[in-house]
């Protein structure tokens, strides 16, 4: 279980990686596992802010509002893809929507429903978006009760972390990247 | 994966995040009459009950906070109180006041999210908060500001807003400094005005003329509007000690749901949550909240589920005003820990013999009961968690049956599944159920039959 410390989200000018999901719903915990991986590798952790959220849209909007570059890592439900497959969607670039938006996310019948898609739409309407936003998804297969990822999803953690690292390093200032090494 | 290929436009992701389809409603219509209504709700507490057995009695405060992203404090507080009850170490005084302050943060956050972002659109004829923001941005900005004020309390007192880490059995890992809480005062002062404005706003909505025959149950928190339960009140039957909860409430497995359904011993369904608290303890609201309730036309128990939106907003005023009072009176709760050290938690050693303890607190959506057996080594031997939603589920099904019958009477065979789904969603939203953090939407199935 990750335990982000307050320093995880204090420097608003740095790229922010947000993990979404519930580590007690098996593969839904992959976002947290990817953030854990990034933190363990150290190098990126000095250049990135890492934050773990539950996916509640208004918290997402608060977290990413005004940031230069945000990557959200989440589990994906997609029956047409194999568990462990890593997909990435660039939702915003250069302060504008790309036209690619995450699907899903009806607004739900309770305050417990959640979704990045809703957060994106709400953030756009309110003008509270990051300059650049990428969603990195890992296709999950097992969303049953309990901690622990299914083998294909656990095996995909390094690839998902690479996807995050490659995306944010593009916009991270050179000096900062050097400092990260 | 390279960055360019990762951004391919051909990718279409079917469903991001949370798990789909765990809230489902089945309506059976036979010869034009509603013959069955079954709401299926996935309930994570059931898994956690088994997961906790064999663990240390110090662990549930952190583990149960993971059950729910919206109400982690409720799970932490009911767990801590049950464990402290088993160990014979009641937590009161300044530590209890600090717990009450933390709880105010959760009520503010949860209620504001539900009132302004989820429930209000039903009354304004818009599909969701997104369209509401397009129509009336200041209203949504106000809600986000108020919700953030609750968030700030969770950060300062709970250590962080998501799954607070500062709570422990016996108290807190660290007590906030006076200056940290003082910094919340301007935020909460503005929040109080926002909360009052929201009461006035929702009181002006048009409400369907409905009156339900609810049986209310709420925590008994002497001298306080219910948050921490020294006992519980059953409408019309009296007040009972926390330890008697499972004598008065019977849980049964129902075939159509992983959730257990709770009934009173008499077999009657009942309702927990804002309507119950208000019906049983309106006289203990903070004066500023009571004033807003009166101004909003609330006079006595509210039995119209749609008007719960007003009660939630009144409770939000109560939570903000109470938080300001608790901060004004705050003194760091320090406990001598030997060697001249002070800590912010009582020592809670395991009981001398295996003992059961009970804890009741009021989650934003209603009474949450925990029970743990703890042996002398500090190992948990049994865990029972009765969340508000399993208690409300029979009553919600009763409301849904009403809705379906009314619509059938009005539209007959012309009733579409879409219209029925929408009205049912509204009826469920009235009670802000915990359909788990894992549910995206209500999956409705309608079975239309001809009788023999």
Average pLDDT over residues B106-119: 94
Q: Which of B7, B46, B70 sits opposite A111 (nearest CB)?
A: B70
Cα separation, A20 vs A124, in Å, equals 19
Mean pLDDT of B403-415: 88
pLDDT over threshold 70, residue B21: no
Q: Which two tokens stand for residue B392?
A: 């409300």
Supply the pLDDT for residue B374: 98
CB B405 within 8 Å of CB B424 = no
- Predicted local confidence at residue B260, as pLDDT: 75
Kindly determine whether residue A99 and residue B437, on different chains, have CB atoms separated by under 8 Å: no
pLDDT of the residue at B433: 81
For testing the chain A interface, which of B1, B12, B17, B440 should be mutated: the one with the most A CBs within 10 Å?
B17
> Over 70: is that where the pLDDT of B166 sits?
yes
Q: In the structure, what pLDDT confidence band is assigned to residue B293 with cuts at 50, 70 and 90?
A: very high
CB contact under 8 A, B15 and A103: yes
Q: Chain A 1-60, CB below 8 Å of chain B: which residues?
A: 1, 3-4, 6, 20-25, 28, 52-56, 58-59
In A, which residues are within 8 Å of B161 by CB distance?
59
How many angstroms separate the CA atoms of B40 and B125, rounded? 27
Annotate chain B with three-state secondary structure. Answer: CCHHHHCCCCCCCCEECCCCCCEEEEEEEECCEEEEEEEEECCCHHHHHHHHCCCECCCHHHHHHHHCCCCHHHHHHHHHHHHHHHHCCCCCHHHHHHHHHHHHHHHHHHHHHHHHHHHHHHHHCCCCHHHHHHHCHHHHHHHHHHHHHHHHHHHHHHCCCCCCCCEECCEECCCCCHHHHHCHHHHHHHHHHHHHHHHHHHHCCCCCCCCCCCCEEEEECCCCCCCEECEEEECCCEEEEHHHHHHHEEEEECCCCCCEEEEECCCCCCECCHHHHHHHHHHHCCHHHHHHHHHCCCCCCCCCHHHHHHHHHHHHHHHHHHHHHHHHCCCCCCEECCCCCEECECCCCCCCCCEEEEEEEEECCEEEEEEEEECCCCEEEEEEEECHHHHHHHHHHHHHHHHHHHHHHHHHHHCCHHHHHHHHHHHHHCCCCCCCCCCCCEEEEEEEECCC
pLDDT category of residue B314 using cuts at 50, 70 and 90:
very high
Question: Per residue in A121-151, pLDDT tens?
Answer: 899 999 999 999 999 989 888 888 889 999 9
Residue B253 pairs in a beta bridge with: B260
- The answer on pLDDT for A171 being more than 90 is no
Contact: B437, A22; criterion CB under 8 Å: yes
Please give the interface size between A and B, counted as residue pairs whose CB atoms are below 8 Å apart: 212
According to DSSP, residue A25 is labeled: B
Confirm or reject contact between A158 and chain B (CB < 8 A): no
Report the first-to-last Cα separation within chain B, whole angstroms. Answer: 61
Residue B229 forms contact with A (CB below 8 Å): no
The reported pTM is 0.90
Closest C-alpha to A95, from A171, A42, A28? A171
User: What residues of A are in contact with residue B144 (Cβ under 8 Å)?
Assistant: 58, 61-62, 126
Q: Do A112 and B70 touch (CB under 8 A)?
A: yes
Whether residue B329 lies within 8 A of chain A, CB to CB, comes out as: no
Q: pLDDT band at B43, cuts 50/70/90?
A: low
How many whole angstroms separate alpha carbon B183 and alpha carbon B176?
11
The candidate with the shortest Cα–Cα distance to B395, out of B320, B335, B305, B314, is B305
Grade residue A181 by pLDDT with cuts at 50, 70 and 90.
Answer: very low
What 3-state DSSP class applies to A100?
A: coil
Token readout for B177 is 């400094």
Task: Specify whether the CB–CB gap between B388 and B368 falls below 8 A.
Answer: yes
> Chain B within 8 Å of A131 (Cβ-Cβ)?
no
Lowest mean pLDDT among A48-52, B58-62, B390-394: A48-52
Chain A segment 76-115 residues within 8 A of B by beta carbon are: 76-80, 86-90, 98-100, 102-115
Check residue B435 and give its pLDDT.
58
Q: Which ipTM value was assigned to this complex?
A: 0.84
pLDDT above 90 for B285: yes
pLDDT of B150 > 50? The answer is yes
Closest residue in B to A158 (Cα) is B1
Tokens of B115: 């009132």
Q: Residues of A with CB below 8 A from B128's CB?
A: 107, 118
Q: Does B124 touch chain A (CB under 8 A)?
A: no
Residue B156 is predicted with a pLDDT of 97
- Only one residue has tokens 């690292």, namely A165
The pLDDT of residue A11 is 53
Centre a 10 Å sphere on the Cβ of residue B354 and count the other Cβ atoms it contains: 15
How high is the pLDDT of residue B66?
Answer: 82
Most confident of A7-21, B345-359, B423-437: B345-359
pLDDT 10s digits, B320-349:
999 999 999 999 887 777 776 667 999 999
Is the Cβ–Cβ distance between B196 and B292 less than 8 Å? yes
pLDDT score recorded for residue A50: 85
Judged by DSSP in three states, A39 sits in helix
More confident residue, A111 or A34: A34
CA distance A158 to chain B (A): 11
CA of A77, closest CA in chain B: separation in Å?
Answer: 5
Nearest-CA distance from B381 to chain A in Å?
19
Structural domains of chain B, ranges and CATH numbers in brackets: 45-205+212-392 (1.10.645.10)
Average pLDDT, integer, range A97-113? 56
In tens, the pLDDT along B299-308 reads 999 999 999 9
The predicted structure's pLDDT at residue B425: 81
pLDDT at A7 over 80: no
* pLDDT tops 80 at residue B267: yes
Closest by CA position to B270, among listed B370, B390, B392:
B392
pLDDT tens-digit profile of A59-76?
Answer: 999 999 999 999 999 888
Give the model's confidence band at B42: pLDDT under 50 very low, under 70 low, under 90 confident, else very high.
low
Residue range A45-65: mean pLDDT, rounded: 84
- Domain boundaries of chain A, sorted by first residue: 11-144+163-171
How many C-beta atoms surround the C-beta of residue B2 within 10 A?
11
> Hey, what CATH class is A11-144+163-171 in?
alpha beta
pLDDT of residue A111: 40
| Chain A closest-CA separation from residue B409 CA (Å) | 24
What dihedral angle (degrees, nearest 10) is formed by the CA atoms of B386, B389, B393, B399? 150
Cβ separation B117–A80 shorter than 8 A:
no
Instruction: Write out chain A residues lying below 8 Å of B1, CB-based.
Output: 86, 88, 159, 162-163, 166
pLDDT at A108: 40
How much is the mean pLDDT over chain A?
Answer: 79
Q: Is B135 on the interface with A (CB under 8 A)?
A: no
Write down the mean pLDDT value for chain B.
Answer: 88
Between chains, do A113 and B432 touch, taking CB under 8 Å as contact?
A: no
């Amino acid at each position: 279980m990750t335990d982000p410390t307050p320093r995880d989200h204090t420097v608003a000018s740095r790229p922010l990686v947000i993990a979404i999901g519930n580590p007690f719903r098996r593969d839904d915990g992959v976002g947290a596992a990817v953030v854990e991986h990034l933190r363990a590798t150290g190098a990126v952790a000095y250049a990135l802010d890492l934050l773990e959220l539950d996916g509640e849209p208004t918290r997402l909007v608060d977290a990413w509002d005004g940031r230069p570059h945000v990557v959200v890592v989440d589990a994906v439900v997609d029956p047409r893809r194999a568990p462990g497959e890593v997909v990435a969607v660039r939702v915003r670039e250069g302060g504008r929507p790309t036209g690619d938006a995450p699907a899903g996310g009806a607004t739900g019948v309770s305050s417990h429903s959640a979704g990045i898609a809703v957060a994106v739409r709400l953030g756009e309407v309110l003008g509270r978006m990051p300059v650049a936003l990428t969603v990195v998804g890992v296709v999950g297969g097992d969303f049953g009760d309990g901690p622990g990822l299914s083998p294909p999803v656990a095996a995909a953690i390094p690839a998902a972390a690479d996807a995050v690292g490659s995306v944010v390093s593009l916009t991270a200032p050179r000096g900062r990247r050097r400092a990260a090494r | 994966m390279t960055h360019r290929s990762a951004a391919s436009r051909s990718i279409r992701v079917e469903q991001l995040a949370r798990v789909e389809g765990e809230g489902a409603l089945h309506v059976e219509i036979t010869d034009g009459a509603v013959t069955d209504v079954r709401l299926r709700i996935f309930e994570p507490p059931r898994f956690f009950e088994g997961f906790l057995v064999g663990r240390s009695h110090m662990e549930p405060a952190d583990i149960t906070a993971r059950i729910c992203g919206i109400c982690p404090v409720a799970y932490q507080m009911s767990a801590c109180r049950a464990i402290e009850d088993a160990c014979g170490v009641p937590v009161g005084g300044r530590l209890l006041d600090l717990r009450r302050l933390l709880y105010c943060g959760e009520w503010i956050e949860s209620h504001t999210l539900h009132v302004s972002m989820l429930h209000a659109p039903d009354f304004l004829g818009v599909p969701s908060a997104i369209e509401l923001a397009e129509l009336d941005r200041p209203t949504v900005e106000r809600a986000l500001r108020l919700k953030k004020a609750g968030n700030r309390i969770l950060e300062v007192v709970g250590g962080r807003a998501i799954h607070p880490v500062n709570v422990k059995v016996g108290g807190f890992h660290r007590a906030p400094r006076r200056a940290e809480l003082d910094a919340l005062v301007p935020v909460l002062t503005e929040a109080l005005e926002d909360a009052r404005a929201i009461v006035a706003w929702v009181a002006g909505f048009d409400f369907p003329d409905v009156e339900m025959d609810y049986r209310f149950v709420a925590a008994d928190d002497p001298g306080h509007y219910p948050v921490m339960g020294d006992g519980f009140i059953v409408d019309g039957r009296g007040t009972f000690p926390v330890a008697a909860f499972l004598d008065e409430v019977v849980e049964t497995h129902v075939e159509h749901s992983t959730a257990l359904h709770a009934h009173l011993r008499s077999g009657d369904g009942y309702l927990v949550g804002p309507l119950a608290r208000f019906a049983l303890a309106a006289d203990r609201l903070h004066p500023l909240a009571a004033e807003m309730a009166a101004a909003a036309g609330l006079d006595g128990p509210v039995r119209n589920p749609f008007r719960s939106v007003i009660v939630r907003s009144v409770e939000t005023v109560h939570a903000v005003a109470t938080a300001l009072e608790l901060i004004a009176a705050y003194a760091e709760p320090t406990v001598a820990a030997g060697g001249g050290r002070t800590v912010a938690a009582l020592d809670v050693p395991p009981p001398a013999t295996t003992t059961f303890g009970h804890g009741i607190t009021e989650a934003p959506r209603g009474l949450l009961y925990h029970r743990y057996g703890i042996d002398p080594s500090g190992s948990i031997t049994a865990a029972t968690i009765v969340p508000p939603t399993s208690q409300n589920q029979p009553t919600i099904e009763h409301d849904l049956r009403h809705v379906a019958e009314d619509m059938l009477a009005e539209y007959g065979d012309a009733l579409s599944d879409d219209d029925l789904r929408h009205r049912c969603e509204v009826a469920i939203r009235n009670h802000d159920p915990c359909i788990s953090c894992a549910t995206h939407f209500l999956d409705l199935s309608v079975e239309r039959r001809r009788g023999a």
